[in-house]
């Protein structure tokens, strides 16, 4: 067989990436020596303009990188099962998307993913990776003693939490500063005014209820990380820990009662996490939440229709939610205006250290241990994370066709559907290269810039720890415990004092205490003991 030239190999590899030729092309490209083809399992369908983007990569960068991409685009609904089957069967993959909510918790502890530690914190050989992934970040994303997970995120938080509301109504009702709501007192005034006007004050879905209000997205309280406190969730239990000087001082289950928190630092030595549910109950009693919230699956549609006065979300929803204004104005409500209330005080005031983070990635990439092309895969990633230009080609597409850089530094104007179809969370997200849309108003742009600043975050007391529940007996305990905690998991978010058994309580705290006590007798104690044992050993190893 005649040996292919480098250009021939690249062309054939490019066709393979588009899925137009058989597997023999991959082998030939790899044999050529100029180009190595890596197989990537991507979560999500192929973007409309991917072929043109990849052709641009071939034309301008492939000679430099020497790596071709053979991407299998998997529909979101099928990805979790396909990933598990492909990896456990030992099939040929060089790069895959994974996350704790996909298969990472199952595959990483079983050794299916390669240790990539030699490629990170190595600026001489991999400057792109060193630029985009700090040592602190990579240490925080070690899974079961291996640096096998490449975290993908644009910010170390999970979005700035807000309540979206009709700002024009707030103006009409005399609430806030020219309609801008700045506190929960004003939010309650708005809800009451909405109720008086015959509008449901707060629309909520079954899963969310009042969601994670009165907290930092449910994961922390204001100042908790600075006090050495951190929560871990398993089997429906929220286990608060107090870590000081690298040692576990105390721990307690949220809802178990004040006595169990007596050894926590002053100001936190009570069942503080349960307090907010009592406030939820007050809002429920006041009639502020949709009375059918336990059965609602979509609160956005009634909000758009003017039936709800507010919904919860994050500033990530800005583009989607601003479309409501178009609907309102189309209905001849010319003064319609959308506002948002940033309900965490320190975040609203843009304070430093306002958002606790463990710097772990909710999404990420991994390389199966069966891959024989790890060097080539990491070389491609080093290129992609090595410059704004390279990163943006893959994430945003072709400049001038799919996107344009905004006039303000750090902004981008999206010109096509490529970016939304591609989904950067599955391959390219990184704080070093995060860009903000030109569509933001000045106030929202300021908040989004604040969200990208490292100083906005405070690192939690423990990073890089992952609770391993794969042991058969422990997994059974988790399942038994969760069957109990499920009895209050939803109703507590809605401020409802009736558990899943139909038992009524005078307070949410009483309901939580009864539920936690039952849960601890049905596997919960084993779960807590295992977490404490693993966490103690982890801290001792640091």
Same structural domain, 374 and 523: no
- The dihedral over CA atoms of 315, 451, 142, 80, expressed in degrees to the nearest 10, equals 20
Whether the pLDDT of residue 9 is over 60: the answer is no
The answer to whether position 117 is within a domain reads yes
Considering the domain architecture, whether residues 349 and 250 belong to the same structural domain is answered as: yes
Chain position carrying tokens 């005078």: 506
> Per-residue pLDDT for 272 more than 90?
yes
Residues 310-359: tens digit of each pLDDT? 999 999 999 999 999 999 999 988 999 999 999 999 999 999 999 999 99
Residue 105 has pLDDT above 50, yes or no: yes
In the prediction, which pLDDT does 21 show? 29
Burial of 387 (C-beta count, 10 Å sphere; 0-12/13-18/19+): middle
CB half-sphere exposure, 352, CA atoms < 13 A: 2
Are 164 and 299 members of one domain?
A: yes
Q: Domain holding 275: CATH number?
A: 3.40.190.10
Assess whether 65 and 135 both reside in one domain: yes
Based on the domain organization, do 298 and 315 belong to the same domain?
Answer: yes
Residue 452: inside a domain, yes or no? no
Do 513 and 415 reside in the same domain of the chain?
no
What's the CA gap between 194 and 309, in Å, rounded? 6
Domain-embedded: residue 398: yes
In sequence order, what are the beta bridge partners of 39? Answer: 70
Do strands 36-43 and 67-74 pair parallel, antiparallel, or not at all (unpaired)? parallel
Query: At residue 100, does pLDDT exceed 50?
Result: yes
Q: What's the pLDDT score for residue 441?
A: 93
Q: What are phi and psi of 199, to 5 degrees?
A: -110, 140
Same domain, 396 and 345: no
Domain count, the chain: 2
Phi and psi at residue 230, to the nearest 5°: -155, 140
> Does 41 reside within a domain?
yes
Is residue 442, in this structure, part of any structural domain at all?
A: no
Last residue of a domain, one of 384, 416, 434: 434
Query: How do residues 493-536 score in pLDDT, each as one tens digit?
Result: 999 999 999 999 999 999 999 999 999 999 999 999 999 999 99
Q: How far apart are CA 452 and CA 347, in angstroms?
A: 13
Q: Report the C-alpha gap between 102 and 114 in whole angstroms.
A: 17
pLDDT at 33: 55
If asked whether residues 16 and 110 sit together in one domain, one would say yes
Residues 171 and 108 in one domain: no
pLDDT over 90 (residue 157): no
Using the predicted structure, report yes or no on whether residue 15 has a pLDDT greater than 70. Answer: no
The answer to the question of residue 448 being in a domain is no
Q: Judge whether 446 lies within some domain.
A: no
Mean pLDDT of the chain: 92
User: Do residues 407 and 366 both lie within one domain?
Assistant: yes
Statement to judge: residues 336 and 428 lie in one domain = no
> End of a domain among 434, 452, 477?
434
- Return the structure tokens found at 151: 């975290």
Q: Where are the beta strands (DSSP E) in 258-380?
A: 310-314, 338-342, 355-357, 363-366
* pLDDT for residue 31: 41
Q: Are residues 387 and 343 in the same domain?
A: no
512 in any annotated domain: yes
Structural domain including 542 reads 159-358+460-542
Contact 391, 17 (CB under 8 A): no
Q: What is the pLDDT of residue 458?
A: 95
Handedness of CA 470, 475, 481, 484 (dihedral sign): positive
Residue pointed to by tokens 């990188």: 65
Report whether pLDDT(25) > 50.
no
**Residue 292 burial (CB count, 10 A):** 11
**Whole-number pLDDT of residue 7:** 36
pLDDT at position 30? 39
Strand (E) or helix (H) holding 161: strand 161-166
* Segment 389-446, tens digit of pLDDT: 999 999 999 999 999 999 999 999 999 999 999 999 999 999 999 999 999 999 999 9
């Amino acid at each position: 067989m005649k040996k292919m030239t480098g250009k021939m190999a690249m062309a054939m590899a490019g066709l393979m990436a588009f899925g137009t030729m058989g597997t023999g092309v991959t082998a030939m490209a790899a044999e050529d020596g100029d180009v190595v083809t890596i197989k990537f399992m991507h979560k999500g369908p192929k973007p409309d303009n991917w072929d043109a983007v990849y052709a641009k990569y071939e034309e301008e960068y492939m000679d430099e990188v020497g790596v071709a991409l053979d991407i299998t685009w998997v529909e979101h609904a099928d990805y979790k099962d396909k990933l598990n089957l492909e990896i456990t069967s030992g099939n040929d993959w060089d790069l895959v998307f994974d996350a704790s909510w996909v298969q990472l918790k199952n595959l990483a502890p079983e050794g299916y993913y390669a240790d990539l530690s030699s490629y990170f914190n190595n600026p001489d050989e991999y400057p792109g990776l060193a630029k985009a992934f700090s040592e602190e970040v990579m240490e925080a994303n070690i899974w079961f003693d291996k640096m096998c997970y490449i975290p993908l995120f644009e910010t170390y938080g999970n979005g700035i939490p807000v309540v979206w509301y009709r700002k024009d109504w707030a103006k009409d009702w005399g609430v806030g500063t020219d309609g801008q709501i700045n506190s929960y007192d004003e939010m309650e005034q708005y809800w009451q005014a909405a109720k008086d006007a015959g509008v449901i004050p707060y629309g909520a879905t079954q899963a969310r209820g009042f969601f994670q209000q009165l907290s930092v997205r449910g994961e922390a309280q204001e100042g908790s990380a600075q006090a050495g406190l951190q929560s871990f969730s398993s089997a429906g239990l929220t286990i608060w820990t107090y870590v000081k000087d690298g040692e576990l001082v105390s721990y307690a289950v949220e809802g178990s009662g004040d006595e169990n928190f007596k050894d926590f630092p002053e100001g936190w030595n009570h069942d503080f996490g349960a307090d907010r549910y009592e406030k939820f109950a007050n809002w429920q009693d006041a009639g502020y939440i949709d009375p059918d919230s336990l059965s609602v699956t979509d609160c956005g549609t009634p909000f758009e229709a003017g039936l709800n006065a507010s919904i919860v979300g994050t500033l990530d929803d800005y583009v989607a939610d601003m479309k409501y204004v178009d609907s309102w104005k189309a209905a001849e409500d010319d003064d319609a205006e959308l506002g948002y209330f940033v309900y965490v005080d320190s975040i609203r005031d843009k304070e430093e250290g306002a958002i606790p983070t463990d710097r772990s990635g909710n999404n990420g990439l991994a390389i199966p241990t069966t891959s024989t092309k790890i060097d080539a895969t990491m070389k491609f990633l080093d290129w992609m994370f090595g410059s704004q230009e390279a990163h943006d080609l893959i994430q945003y597409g072709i400049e001038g066709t799919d996107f344009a850089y905004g006039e303000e530094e750090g902004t981008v104007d999206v010109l096509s559907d490529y970016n939304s179809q591609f989904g950067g969370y599955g391959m390219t997200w990184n704080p070093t290269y995060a860009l903000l849309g030109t569509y933001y108003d000045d106030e929202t742009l300021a908040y989004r810039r604040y969200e990208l600043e490292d100083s906005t975050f405070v690192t939690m007391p423990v990073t890089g720890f992952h609770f391993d529940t794969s042991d058969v007996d422990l997994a059974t305990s988790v399942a038994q415990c969760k069957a109990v905690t499920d009895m209050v998991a939803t109703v507590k978010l809605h401020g409802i004092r009736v558990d899943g058994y139909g038992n009524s309580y005078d307070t949410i705290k009483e309901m939580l205490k009864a539920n936690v006590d039952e849960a601890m007798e049905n596997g919960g104690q084993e779960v807590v003991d295992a977490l404490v044992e693993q966490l103690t050993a982890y801290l001792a190893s640091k």
